[in-house]
Amino acid sequence: MRRVLPPLTGLAMLAALVLVFLLVPTEADMGIVQRIFYFHVSSAWVAFLGFFLVAGASAVYLWNGAPTADRLAYAGAEVGVLFCTLVLVTGPIWARPIWGVWWTWDPRLTMTVVLWAIYSSYLMLRAFGGGDAAIARYAAVLGIVGVLDIPLIVVSVRLLRGIHPAVITRTQGGTGLADPWMRAGLLVSALALILLAAWLVDLRVRGAQLEDEVAALRREMDARRGEVA
Amino acid sequence: MRDALAILAKDLRIEWRTREGISSVFVLGVLLVVVLTMAHDPSPETAPTLAPGVLWAAFVLTGMLGVQRGFLLERENDCLAGLLGAPVDPAAIYAGKLAANVVLLAVMQAVVVPLVGLFLHVDLAARLPALLLVCLLGFASLATLFGALAARVRAREVMLPLLLLPLLVPLLIGAVQATRAVLVGGLAGASGGLGVLAAFDVIFGVAGWLLFAYVVRD
């Protein structure tokens, strides 16, 4: 798995780029800027996957205390925030020419920025909350509360005024992705980003594992040095 | 249940003897209402439309400080360690702390809410008690969980607002929308906001009850 992920990600990325920039037709109303949609929507999916990974791994960690579950939760939050940031960057680039403003307090935009804030605060807690083992437990509590908040956020932001297109579900004036090339572009982009995210999570989990091993070795070294002296 | 009541009584007694938390948070609440209103510079006609936003922004910010203070008090002289060392179910500690927070915040709101009504020319006090209680419960169930959590980590002063504010967004939206609807035309239009608030109360009441043990256990 570790061997195949990087080349597989590279291939999928290349395929996504070829599809989105060479094969997918230009959208009739919006023009060239619509092509950012394929990466924007895929990033949003991957961000959600990351946040659900945080919740699942957090629940497992509270249940059995496995260090791997804790590392997975941490990596999920990092990757989730990374892709959520990409959503928040690519969205305004599209919105500026189409809506005329970089940002508006539409339900989906509000939801995305709130989720970004929740999981950024998760990363802050882990980074600055102190180094002891209790932080992993506190973070797991936050990871579970965070995912419980998601449906509430989704419902509550609908009380706000909305203009965001819902392309896939064909509601709110969306037409669905009629063109097969467009559908292929979105699917392959999503696949490429999911593979990239999986690779990143794997790297981060392995990194955290190595950090723990180094810390354990260092403790052992200090103990032996104490014996000699 | 008895343990929870004992903790509630203890917290209220501490507060009653010093009146330090309630008075400082109360003055802060008044200040926030004044500052938020001033920043908008409303005309007499637009003033009522500001009321929901000002009310709930002040509520969230003062409530956070009130809850935080309750847990920082427990840190002094290692009271928290004593409390956790006692043969008491963590869920009972959670319930007691939650009840104490609800009572103290309610007392504070009883003064701040009429004041917002006075400043912004709306009759709030008569129409909002039920809504206030629903918000207080939801707010306190999450704030009690994270107040205990934040009191036990480094950088604790900044950590509570950082963790709590984004999680409170559904509560804030629900409360503002419900208040607006109530002020315009009674309860009929408020069902969306009230639904969110009720769900928030139930979900985080149960979650706080179940997860509190993981926050205070050593």
pLDDT tens figures, B39-51: 888 888 888 888 8
> What six digits make up the tokens of B63?
């409530």
Q: pLDDT by residue for chain A (229 residues), tens digit each? A: 778 999 999 999 999 999 988 888 887 778 888 888 899 999 999 999 999 999 999 999 999 989 999 999 999 999 999 999 999 999 999 988 888 889 988 888 999 999 999 999 999 999 988 767 789 999 999 999 999 999 999 988 888 766 677 666 555 545 567 788 888 889 999 999 999 999 999 999 999 999 989 999 999 999 998 887 6
- Report CB contact under 8 Å: A135, B153: yes
- Report CB contact under 8 Å: B152, A138: yes
Distance, in Å, from the CA atom of B22 to the CA atom of A154, rounded to the nearest integer, reads 35
Looking at the partner chain, which of A125, A130, A152 has a beta carbon nearest the beta carbon of B170? Answer: A152
- Range with the lowest mean pLDDT among A42-51, B6-15, B29-38? B6-15
Q: Which residues of A touch B (CB under 8 A)?
A: 62, 110, 114, 117-118, 121, 124-125, 128-130, 134-135, 137-138, 140-142, 144-146, 148-149, 152-153, 155-160
Residue A180 identity (one-letter amino acid): P
Is residue B101's pLDDT more than 60?
Answer: yes
In this structure, what is the dihedral angle of CA atoms A53, B148, B63, B13, given to the nearest 10 degrees? Answer: 160
- Report CB contact under 8 Å: A130, B162: no
Q: Which residues of B touch A (CB under 8 A)?
A: 142, 145-146, 149, 152-155, 159, 162-163, 165-167, 169-170, 173-174, 177, 192-193, 195-196, 199-200, 203-204, 207, 211, 214-215, 217-218
More confident residue, A188 or B121: A188
Rounded to two decimals, the ipTM of the complex is 0.89
More confident residue, A173 or B37: B37
What's the pLDDT score for residue A169?
A: 57
Tell me how many degrees the CA angle A198-A202-A203 measures, rounded to the nearest 5.
Answer: 120
Is residue B58's pLDDT more than 60?
Answer: yes
Q: What is the mean pLDDT of residues B3-21?
A: 82
Q: What is the mean pLDDT of residues B151-179?
A: 90
What's the pLDDT score for residue A172?
A: 53
In this structure, what is the dihedral angle of CA atoms A126, B105, A159, A40, given to the nearest 10 degrees? Answer: -10
CB-CB neighbours of A69 under 10 Å: 20
Interface size A-B, in CB pairs within 8 Å, comes to 87
Give chain B positions within 8 Å (CB) of A112. none
Question: Helices H, strands E: what count in chain A?
Answer: 6, 0
What's the pLDDT score for residue A226?
A: 82
Confidence band, pLDDT 50/70/90 cuts, at residue B83 = confident
Give chain B positions within 8 Å (CB) of A153. 169-170
What's the pLDDT score for residue A229?
A: 67
Q: What is the mean pLDDT of residues B35-41?
A: 88
